[in-house]
Amino acid sequence: MYSATINAYFSWCVHLLQDMSAWMGISYQELNVWVFVVIHPLITLLLAYWIIRLRRQLKGPKGNRRKSPEVIRLEPPAIQMP
């Protein structure tokens, strides 16, 4: 059942790419190269850059960054016997 769902989804995606390539006036293979060799890697690189930038913003200015995390040790409360 799972493979039938995957096959149906794959078939739908192929038909979508074929329809888009016909609409754009290019071949299916050319559209495949544009989508999976050019556009997808660019989006991945842009998202990675964005994540790195946001992480740096969360850390604050370089002077305020800690070199190692500070560990706080808590002692358990003393148990008093009656």
Residue range 15-43: average pLDDT? 96
Residue boundaries of the structural domains of the chain: 2-59
Closest C-alpha to 31, from 43, 44, 16: 16
Element of type H or E holding 1 = none
Tens digit of pLDDT for each residue in 47-56? Answer: 999 999 999 8
**Which residue, chain included where needed, has tokens 């808590």?**
74
Question: What pTM was computed for the model?
Answer: 0.60
What percent of the chain lies above the pLDDT cut of 90? 65
Q: Which two tokens stand for residue 30?
A: 């050319």
Residue 46 has pLDDT above 60, yes or no: yes
